[in-house]
Amino acid sequence: MMENADEKAVLIVVAGGSGKRFGGDKLMVNVCGKPVFVHTLERLSSAAKRLVLVVPAGREKEFEGAVGKFLPKLSLKIVSGGANRTASVGKGVAAAELRPGEVSAVHDAARPLATPELLQKLCRKAREVGGAVPGFPQADAQKRTDENGLILDDLPRKNVWNVGTPQVFQAELLLRAYASPEVADCLDDAEVVRRIGGQVAVVPSSEPNTKLTTPADLEKIEKQLSR
């Protein structure tokens, strides 16, 4: 556990998504006695310098109530999100009041297995190069298809990664990236930062970091958290 506040990240946790593939409100689903997003906050709060939780507009009181019930001593700021993930993260970045010299982590609330140790590794790399994301080696063959599903190319697995969150960046870089009008269609924060010319490194990780997307994911997460 970190003790020096200067070594910690300003943590922006994004609670969004429609839950269509899960079949309901995945972030409030009970996992080992607590809503899944509460596990996320609880596990990473020790590595957070400040904490911002971005929630769907109109549900601020609901999330505030859950935090108050399960984590009554946790200090955080709750803000409403935007029309898509990029807009929501942008609101979180604005609310975080980032300062020069800090690093900031953006994390999916639906990934409750990420650890403080993983966040520490990412922070160290982000301070070094600008940004860092956790990467998991691609084990399956990769294909690129046309609109009809016909294979066009066979892509090499070497240097191909599945990436998740937390994604960590130097504060100045993240602020500049989300001030750009050219990032609305980006798929993740690494793409946002790279679009303005920032460098982002992949930090290999073997830690379980499942994102709750489907009911099958819930079983995996429950097994890991019960350990």
pTM, two decimals, is: 0.91
For residues 9 and 4, the model is more confident at: 9
Contact (Cβ atoms closer than 8 angstroms) between residue 166 and residue 105: yes
Instruction: Give me the mean pLDDT over the 91-104 stretch.
Output: 96
Instruction: Give me the mean pLDDT over the 30-58 stretch.
Output: 95
pLDDT range class, residue 207, cuts 50, 70, 90: confident
How high is the pLDDT of residue 17?
Answer: 61
pLDDT range class, residue 1, cuts 50, 70, 90: very low
Bridge partners (DSSP) of residue 203 are 134
How high is the pLDDT of residue 2?
Answer: 45
Residue-wise pLDDT for 133-177, tens only, equals 999 888 788 899 999 999 999 988 888 899 999 999 999 999 999
Contact (Cβ atoms closer than 8 angstroms) between residue 187 and residue 108: no
Least confident stretch, 63-72, 125-134, 157-166? 157-166
Residue 92 CA to residue 149 CA, distance in Å, equals 37
Mean pLDDT of the chain: 91
Residues 6+ apart with CB under 8 A from 69: none
Instruction: Give me the mean pLDDT over the 4-28 stretch.
Output: 74
**Domains in the chain, start-ordered, CATH in brackets?**
5-131+163-226 (3.90.550.10)
Token pair recorded at residue 204: 């290999």
Instruction: Give me the mean pLDDT over the 45-69 stretch.
Output: 96
Question: Within 13 A of 206's CA, how many CA atoms are on the CB side?
Answer: 0
